[in-house]
Amino acid sequence: MRRPDQSVPKPKTAVPGLLRADAALFRGAPDDDVAAVYDRAADRYDHFRELWLRLAGQGAEDAMLAGLRAALRPGTRVLDAGCGSGVLARKMREIEPAIELTLLDFSKAMLDQAADIPGDRVQGSVLHLPFADASFDVVVSAWVIETLPDPMRAVQEYLRVLHPDGQLLYTFCSLPHGWFSRAGSAWLRAAVHRGFAGDFLDGEHTPWHDCERSHLQRFSHGLTTEVALRSCCEVGAPVLPAPL
Ligand SMILES: C[S@@+](CC[C@H](N)C(=O)[O-])C[C@H]1O[C@@H](n2cnc3c(N)ncnc32)[C@H](O)[C@@H]1O
């Protein structure tokens, strides 16, 4: 019998904080309906996002936040394309509370998680943005394009709605170079694919334009990438910088 002063030992999990219910997201065949995937994951999404940053995403996220710190001013019109639960939107509001924020996502459940964030909320697709040309000073899209059937099309849309002086920033999961990094990351790539419909983009599918006003940075052995483009950029067949 347990004495009153004995605390109940906590069960050990393979990943800190990973619940049995969370594991269900990774079972079964990957779902083709990406909105349904995120509707299902919405209430636990922030927990996985945190885990993703710890495992691989933090470098790219920090690079994007550095770009946002330089770009955000009072009144800056910002589109968070594929905003999810609004984690990044909250960070942007901390950087500059007086931005004019538009949050867009096609998952209603994800948008609902961001209901407390001041700004316009739009349920729609990043592949057909419901905004006029040149509507935003900053477009940001974190960990979205790798979930799309046509990442190039989304980035063309982001550039279309960008003001001529504007800036586009995005992060995504990318395929590392070299068999060692590919083999070592296979389990993580499979989990992201199964649980979150994310495909790690290779060079051929990476929207990118090389000029003196753009940059592309890779992190975590190439598993994540951060890109900054300007409205004059045109994305097409990419010529990527040399591997790490
Ligand atoms: C991995 S989450 C990233 C969410 C958020 N940007 C973040 O940084 O946490 C991908 C998000 O993209 C959204 N998404 C995927 N395809 C989309 C599409 N075609 N149009 C709009 N949103 C989409 C999903 O619903 C989900 O919220």
- Any domain includes 12: no
Pocket test for ligand 1, best of 31, 33, 37, 38 (most atoms within 8 A of CB): 38
- Any domain includes 146: yes
- Any domain includes 10: no
Measured at the CA of 173, the angle between CA 172 and CA 175, to 5 degrees, comes to 135
Question: Two tokens at 106?
Answer: 């096609």
Pocket test for ligand 1, best of 141, 147, 152, 173 (most atoms within 8 A of CB): 147
- Any domain includes 25: no
Containing structural domain, residue 185: 31-230
Rounded alpha-carbon distances, angstroms, from residue 109 to 90, 126, 187, 198: 17, 17, 27, 18
- Any domain includes 51: yes
Q: Taking Cα atoms as reference points, which of 155, 161, 100, 151 lies closest to residue 130?
A: 161
Measured at the CA of 24, the angle between CA 19 and CA 28, to 5 degrees, comes to 155
- Any domain includes 236: no
Domain count, the chain: 1
- Any domain includes 132: yes
How many CA atoms lie less than 13 Å away from 208 in the CB half-sphere? 22
How close is the Cα of 2 to the center of ligand 1, in Å? 47
- Per-residue confidence in pLDDT tens, the chain, 244 aa: 344 444 434 433 444 455 555 555 555 555 568 999 999 999 999 999 999 999 999 999 999 999 999 999 999 999 999 999 999 999 999 999 999 999 999 999 999 999 999 999 999 999 999 999 999 999 999 999 999 999 999 999 999 999 999 999 999 999 998 888 899 999 999 999 999 999 999 988 899 888 889 999 999 999 999 999 999 898 875 556 655 4
| Distance between CA atoms of residues 182 and 8, nearest Å | 41
Kindly report the CATH number assigned to the domain that includes residue 144.
Answer: 3.40.50.150
- Any domain includes 239: no
